[in-house]
């Protein structure tokens, strides 16, 4: 394989990141102003399996009141001897537990976009979730939507202001956001840790946390007015990738009944840039991490003990920077043969997955977020292309995304990431679900918020899905109302369509029907056919 270009860390600040921050912080300021104007009502209590929790009434869309519960523990603090172990049950409490503020977010680097968007306090004691519900005693149980945040599996939180679920709850769903362990605390694998497992595996603690949160929802959400038999998991970026992994995990079977994946890449078989890693590779990375921490020459028992004693900040400091264009994400879910039995691509191809109705899509300018500020020579562009997929496809990639001058290379790489990485992943998972005779819907978000120079960038749709965008009138409001309507109807029935709104067609492989959310909302077909054909051939799914 050709020498790769010097990797550019995903989270390095640049003009493009600042442009995103300007937009997102504008969203946050308006959202915060609205939050400060709330008039709290007398709190109310709900009985969970672990004890009573106290919430409060908050104002949502159109002045409607909903109940908010923040910082409910769904698992025991994963600290001390529970670090690098599956999540354990919560210790019950006897007094009423106030749930009026978010619990700590999981430890993560302080820089980058997520760090500036309000993850708040961080602590290893971070396995908390948040619930918004229109009422705790409805006549009919309500559909439930469980949000899994993004952040490349190393940053993020269910407490980020964009993810506030009160406006979704105002549309008669119970909205839940969760934290899960991140970075080395969530995904470190090591032979010494594997020896402690009956299955001889390690890693995937973050995915186990997500499953534990879904089990909490199954056991407790009825007390909040939700229907445990009608749960939709939805997420963006690493959250959408988590949705894909939950779809192929036997341990998650029956815990959710619909899935929404926003801008998730599915890169495993055929791709060198990975969003899922084999256990062997994860174990080698864990051994390198231990060496970087000065831990070597120890027995397995001593190694496991010492790994649990390393301060969280030292673990983060020893974490390698993301080498996005060389190997993919630093920490990813692990193909351990148990929680994730095989490559998701293979399991989807074989129909061996949790088959549920799916709504999936991507944004028109996903790649701009990751290539902003990147100056590439033609040689560097060629080296990156050589490293994206297995040998034999580099020429086809550069033919489809040509760059004859250095100033064309950045845009070519951006389009490649957008179409071959993100759009093809959503298309393939939709195709896999449709092939099982289950409804699937595909979309592309093309709207450019606040005329951002990065276009419809990675994550641009999130404030519109949650109703936490900055504009309270005009087309932004209309677009948000449409997206909230489509998303919540899908959660309720598996069909996003409603009377008087553009009809979102079912996905069919023949014409690849999808919905465009842009300056207009309209059905379309044949999304990036050449890119998707090439991606399918890279995955070995077409000759």
Which single residue is written with the structure tokens 């523990």? 73
458: annotated active-site residue:
yes
Neighbour-count burial of 130, counting CB atoms closer than 10 A to its CB (0-12 exposed, 13-18 middle, 19+ buried): buried
Distance of CA 91 to the CA centre of its chain: 28
68 is catalytic: no
Catalytic residue among 458, 461, 469, 516: 458
Cβ-based neighbours of 477, under 8 Å, separated by 6 or more: 469, 471
In the chain, the N- to C-terminal Cα span, in Å, equals 23
Burial label, 1 (beta-carbon count in 10 A; 0-12, 13-18, 19+): exposed
Q: What is the CA radius of gyration of the chain?
A: 22
Q: 416 — phi, psi (to 5°)? A: -60, -45
Nearest to 436 by CA among 511, 350, 527: 350
Phi, psi for 372 (deg, rounded to 5)? -55, 135
Q: Do you know the residue count of the chain?
A: 543
| Active-site residue, from 50, 237, 425, 480 | 237
Token digits of residue 440: 């699937």
Q: Which of 56, 124, 327, 366 is catalytic?
A: 366
Compute φ and ψ for 27, nearest 5 degrees.
-55, -45
Classify residue 511 as exposed, middle or buried by CB count within 10 Å of its CB (0-12, 13-18, 19+): exposed
Task: Decide the pairing of beta strands 97-98 and 142-148.
Answer: unpaired
Name the helix (H) or strand (E) containing 260.
strand 258-262
Distance CA 84, CA 203 (A): 8
User: Residue 513 in contact with residue 507, Cβ under 8 Å?
Assistant: yes
From CA 175, how far away is CA 488, in angstroms rounded? 10
- Give yes or no: 419 in active site: no
Annotate 213-258 with DSSP letters as a single string.
HHHHHHHHGGGGTEEEEEEEEEEETHHHHHHHHHHH-GGGTTS-SE
359, containing H or E segment? strand 358-363
Q: Which residues are catalytic?
A: 237, 366, 458
């Amino acid at each position: 394989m050709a020498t790769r270009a010097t990797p550019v860390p995903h989270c390095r600040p640049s003009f493009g990141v600042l442009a995103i921050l300007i937009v997102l912080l504008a969203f946050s300021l308006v959202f915060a102003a609205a939050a400060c104007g709330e008039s709290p009502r007398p709190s109310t209590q709900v009985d969970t399996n672990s004890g009573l929790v106290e919430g409060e009434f908050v104002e949502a869309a159109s002045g409607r009141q909903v109940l908010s519960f923040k910082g409910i523990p769904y698992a025991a603090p994963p600290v001390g001897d529970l670090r690098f172990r599956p999540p354990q049950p919560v210790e019950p409490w006897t007094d009423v537990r106030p749930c009026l503020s978010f619990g700590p977010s999981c430890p993560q680097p302080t820089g980058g976009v997520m760090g500036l968007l309000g993850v708040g306090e961080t602590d290893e004691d971070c396995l908390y979730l948040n619930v918004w519900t229109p009422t705790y005693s409805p006549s009919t149980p309500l559909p439930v939507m469980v949000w899994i945040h993004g952040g490349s599996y190393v940053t993020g939180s269910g407490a980020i202001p964009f993810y506030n679920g009160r406006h979704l709850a105002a549309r008669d769903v119970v909205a839940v956001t969760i934290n899960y362990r991140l970075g080395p605390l969530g995904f470190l694998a090591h032979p010494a840790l594997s020896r402690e497992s009956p299955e001889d595996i390690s890693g995937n603690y973050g995915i186990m946390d997500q499953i534990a949160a879904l089990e909490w929802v199954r056991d407790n959400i009825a007390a909040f007015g939700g229907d445990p038999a009608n749960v939709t998991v939805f997420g963006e970026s690493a959250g959408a990738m988590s949705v894909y992994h939950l779809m192929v995990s036997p341990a998650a079977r029956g815990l959710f009944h619909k899935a929404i994946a926003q801008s998730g890449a599915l890169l495993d078989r055929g791709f060198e840039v990975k969003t899922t890693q084999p256990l062997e590779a994860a174990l080698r990375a864990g051994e390198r991490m231990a060496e970087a921490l000065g831990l070597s020459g120890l027995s397995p028992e001593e190694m496991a003990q010492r790994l649990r004693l390393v301060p969280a900040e030292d673990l983060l400091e020893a974490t390698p920077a993301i080498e996005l264009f060389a190997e993919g994400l630093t920490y990813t879910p692990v193909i351990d043969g148990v929680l994730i039995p095989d490559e998701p691509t293979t399991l989807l191809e074989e129909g061996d997955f949790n088959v549920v109705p799916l709504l999936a899509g991507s944004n028109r300018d996903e790649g701009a977020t990751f290539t902003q500020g990147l100056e590439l020579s033609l040689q560097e562009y060629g080296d990156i292309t050589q490293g994206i997929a297995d040998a034999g496809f580099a020429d086809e990639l550069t033919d489809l995304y040509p760059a004859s001058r250095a100033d064309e290379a950045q845009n070519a790489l951006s389009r490649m990431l957008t179409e071959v990485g993100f759009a093809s992943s959503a298309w393939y998972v939709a195709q896999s679900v449709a092939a099982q005779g289950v409804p699937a819907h595909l979309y592309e978000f093309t709207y450019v918020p606040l005329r951002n120079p990065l276009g419809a960038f990675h994550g641009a749709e999130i404030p519109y899905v949650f109703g936490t965008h900055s504009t309270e009138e005009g087309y932004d409001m209309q677009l948000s109302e449409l997206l909230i309507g489509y998303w919540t109807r899908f959660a309720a029935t598996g069909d996003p369509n409603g009377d008087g709104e553009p009809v979102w067609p079912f996905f069919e492989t023949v014409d690849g029907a999808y919905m465009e959310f842009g300056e207009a909302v309209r059905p379309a077909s044949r999304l990036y056919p050449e890119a998707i054909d090439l991606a399918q051939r890279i995955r070995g799914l077409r000759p």
